[in-house]
Structure 1
Amino acid sequence: MSRRTLDGFVPSRLSEARIDKHLAQGELALRADVSTATISAWEVGRSTPQVDRLMRVVEILGLRMDEVIDVPVEERKLGTLRELTGRTQAQLAGIIGVSTSLLAALERGHAKLGDAVAERLAGELGVSVTEIRAAYERGRARPPLD
C-alpha cells in the first residue's frame, strides 16, 4: 500500500518525549508493536513514520499529534488535518462514507469538494467547514511535482 509522506514530522520531539518518560527505545517499540530499529530511524530522521503507527507511539508517550507534527495552521492541507487526528486515508474515508480514492483525490485537489463531504470532514477532523475549504484550496494550489 502506498502512503503519502508525513509532512512536518519533528523527530527530536519524539525522542525528547521518550527520554522524558524514561523509556528505552526497545520498551517503546514493544509497547507500540514496532521494531526498535523503526523507533531509532524515526528519532534520527532516517525514516518517516506512517500516521497510524505514529499515533500509537504518541498515545503511549502521552502526547498529541500536533506536538510531533509541526505544520503552521495557515499551511495545513486536508492530508495534514487528517494526519493530526492519527488516521490513515482508508480509516477516514470509511468513517465519512467515501472511497479511499476519492479522499486521496480531494487531498491532492484533484476532485471537487462538495458541501456534504466538507461538513463530514469538518466534524471528524474537529475543525470548521471554512478550515476544511481553506485546506482543500491549499492542496489544489500546491506546486506541481517535478
Structure 2
Amino acid sequence: MSRRPLEGFEPSRLLEARLNKGFSQGELALRASVSSASISAWEVGRSTPQVDRLQRVAQVLGLEMAELIHIPETECKLVNLRELAGWTQAQLAQRAGISTPLLAALERGHASLTDAVCGRIAVELKLPDAAVAEAFERGRTRQ
C-alpha cells in the first residue's frame, strides 16, 4: 500500500524539538520505536513520517502533533484533522464506529458525509461538527 506524504510536516520543527530535549537521533529513535535512519531522513526532509510513527516521536518529545505539522485552519481537510490527532485511518474509523474504507472514501471526497457520521468523527477528534464538515468540504472540492 502506498502512502501519501504527510502534508504540512516541518522537518525543522522536529530537529529543533529533538535538540531542545537533548536527545541524539539514536536515543529518540529508540524511545519512539523507530529507526535512527528514519529520524535522520525526516529531519533533513528526505522523507516524511507515517502519522502513527510521528505520533510516537511527538509523545516522546512531549509535543502535540500540531507542533510538528503546520496546516492553516482555512486549508485543513478531513485527512489533516485525522493526522493532527495522530491517528491512522484504521484508528479513527474504529473509534468512530465506521469502516476504514468509508473513512478513506470520505477523506478523498468520494463518499457523502452524513450528519451522523460527521458527529461521530467530530466527537473522536474533539472538534465541533461544523469543523469536520468544513474540512470534508475542503477535501471534496480540492483542485
Do they fold alike, i.e. is TM over 0.5? Answer: yes
SS state of the match for residue 110, structure 1? Answer: coil
1:84 counterpart SS class = helix
Q: Which residue of 2 aligns with 1:25?
A: 25
Q: Any stretches of 5+ residues in structure 2 without a counterpart? A: none
Q: Aligned residue pairs: how many?
A: 143
Structure 2-normalised TM-score? 0.98
Corresponding letter in the other structure for 1:55 = Q
Superposition map of 1:1-146 within 5 A: 1-143=1-143
Identical aligned residues as a percent: 64
Q: State the alpha-carbon separation in 2 of the partners of residues 18 and 5 from structure 1.
A: 21
Task: Tell me by how many angstroms 1:86 deviates.
Answer: 0.4
Q: CA deviation at 1:97?
A: 1.2
- CA root-mean-square deviation: 0.8
Please give the secondary structure, in 1, of the residue aligned with 2:127. coil
The one-letter amino acid of 1:74's match is: T
Deviation at 1:63, TM superposition (A): 0.7
Shift of 1:5: 2.2
- After superposition, what is the alpha-carbon deviation per residue over 1:9-60, rounded to whole angstroms, capped at 9, x for unaligned? 0000000000000000000001111111000000000000000000000010
Structure 1 runs, 4 residues or longer, greater than 3 Å off? none
- Give the Cα–Cα distance (whole angstroms) in 2 for the partners of residues 82 and 107 of structure 1: 9
